[in-house]
Amino acid sequence: MNGFGIDARSNLASTDKPLRPWTVLGIETSCDETAAAVVRGISPGPGEILSNVVFSQLEEHAPYGGVVPEIAARAHVEMADAVVAEALAKSGIDLGAVDAVAATAGPGLIGGVMVGLTTAKALALAADKPLIAVNHLEAHALTARLTEGVEFPFLLLLISGGHCQLMAVEGVGRFTLLGRTIDDAVGEAFDKTAKLLGLPYPGGPRIEVLAKEGRAKAVPLPRPLLGQASADFSFSGLKTAVRQAVQNGAGAADVAASFQLAVTDILGDRTRRAMQQFRQASPDCTHTLVVAGGVASNGAIRATLDALCHAEGFAIKIPPPRLCTDNAAMVAWAGVERGQLGLFDALGVTPRARWPLQDAPHGGSRTNGAS
């Protein structure tokens, strides 16, 4: 047992039968990407991405400056079948040859989640395959195992448009919350700042580009909760300060650079605090920080966290940018991990708009479905 009260060894129970590679079709529709992928592998990875198809809806949502749930759901309905067919064709794997069908069941925009999960249910039923309902956040968390075979336990920094949290990850479905945002997610702060500066959607990448032209210390901005004993985050006060700076005539490039520096300072300080907690609870393991979620694509954030890990004696694992943003390869890989533990779901499983990681079912043994 480690300091979090959870057995940090592999979830896989002893068995007479060795694990074999699993091939899983994954479907992702939680926000504004319609995605499907086929992935093959054995826990703990790395796995092989046989196909990874993503249909982006950026053009549909750009006029509104953000994702419109009704437009997203309709686009998923229109594209889901074609995207799945393309993923299977590119993989060279027939539906009848996959071991399971996995789909995001939440959290996310409920209309989109319903489309993907219903599609997965239909495919699983038609092909007589197990269904695996995947927590979207867990899919992000496990991506570093897909790409690099990261062993449990590890420290996770999950940063996206809707989430910002630090967690100790002891196994599939085994998460201990160390810190979270008490108000807004960091990705939301990027998008709101971009909107204040008149930048087109999506705002995060635009902020990063514009920041290279500005002076990072030109606009004084707050760093909420910096130095606090907890590992929690806060970004609402930073957003308010950015609004005031823009109203007072600060240059867009300087605001972007100063905002990005403030964010990196906050993420670095809060992650350092979580590292201390993680090290105390699990002193004997290899200390690894995994960074996941769309905001992990930001180069300045990646560089800051890399330097932090070097200073604190942590290895750092960040998936490539194409696997940080929403995609179905991560969902399929989560299906591999869950399938090999026998963690399947009935066809009556319901989509969830909210689904905290701590509530994700975890595995302690394998069933006959995992042989």
Q: What would the pLDDT profile of 87-134 be if each residue is shown by its tens digit?
A: 999 999 999 999 999 999 999 999 999 999 999 999 999 999 999 999
List every span in the chain annotated with CATH 3.30.420.40: 22-145+323-370, 153-322
Determine the pLDDT at residue 66. 72
Determine the pLDDT at residue 369. 37
* pLDDT greater than 50 at residue 10: no
Distance CA 135, CA 105 (A): 6
Burial label, 368 (beta-carbon count in 10 A; 0-12, 13-18, 19+): exposed
Determine the pLDDT at residue 11. 44
Q: Using an 8 Å Cβ cutoff, are 316 and 288 in contact?
A: yes
Packed helices 252-281 and 299-312: angle between N→C axes, nearest 10 degrees = 30
* pLDDT greater than 60 at residue 17: no
Determine the pLDDT at residue 75. 85
Under CATH, what is the fold of the domain 22-145+323-370? Nucleotidyltransferase; domain 5 (3.30.420)
Determine the pLDDT at residue 3. 56
* pLDDT greater than 90 at residue 342: yes
Model confidence at 16, in pLDDT bands (50, 70, 90)?
very low
Determine the pLDDT at residue 4. 54
Tokens at 354, concatenated? 């909210």
366 vs 71, residue with greater confidence: 71
* pLDDT greater than 60 at residue 236: yes
Model confidence at 78, in pLDDT bands (50, 70, 90)?
very high
- In this structure, of 15-29, 130-144, 228-242, 267-281, the range with the lowest mean pLDDT score is 15-29
Average pLDDT, the chain: 91
| Cα torsion angle, 229, 235, 236, 241, sign | positive
Q: Which residue has the tokens 């580009």?
A: 209
Determine the pLDDT at residue 2. 56
Residue type, 171: G
357 vs 154, residue with greater confidence: 154
- Give the mean pLDDT of 275-281: 95
Chain center to CA of 331: 10
Distance CA 105, CA 102 (A): 9
Determine the pLDDT at residue 306. 98
Determine the pLDDT at residue 368. 32
- In this structure, of 16-25, 140-149, 164-173, the range with the lowest mean pLDDT score is 16-25
Reported as a single tens digit per residue, the pLDDT across 204-233 is: 999 999 999 999 999 999 999 999 999 999
Determine the pLDDT at residue 14. 34
User: Percent of the chain, pLDDT > 90?
Assistant: 80
- In this structure, of 65-79, 80-94, 192-206, 235-249, the range with the lowest mean pLDDT score is 65-79
Q: Which CATH class is domain 153-322?
A: alpha beta
Q: Which residue has the tokens 């053009």?
A: 59
Count the Cβ atoms, other than its own, within 10 Å of residue 63.
10
What size, in residues, is the chain?
A: 371
Reported as a single tens digit per residue, the pLDDT across 319-335 is: 999 999 999 999 999 99
Which residues sit opposite 288 in a β-bridge?
315
365 vs 70, residue with greater confidence: 70
Model confidence at 64, in pLDDT bands (50, 70, 90)?
low
- Give the mean pLDDT of 230-244: 97
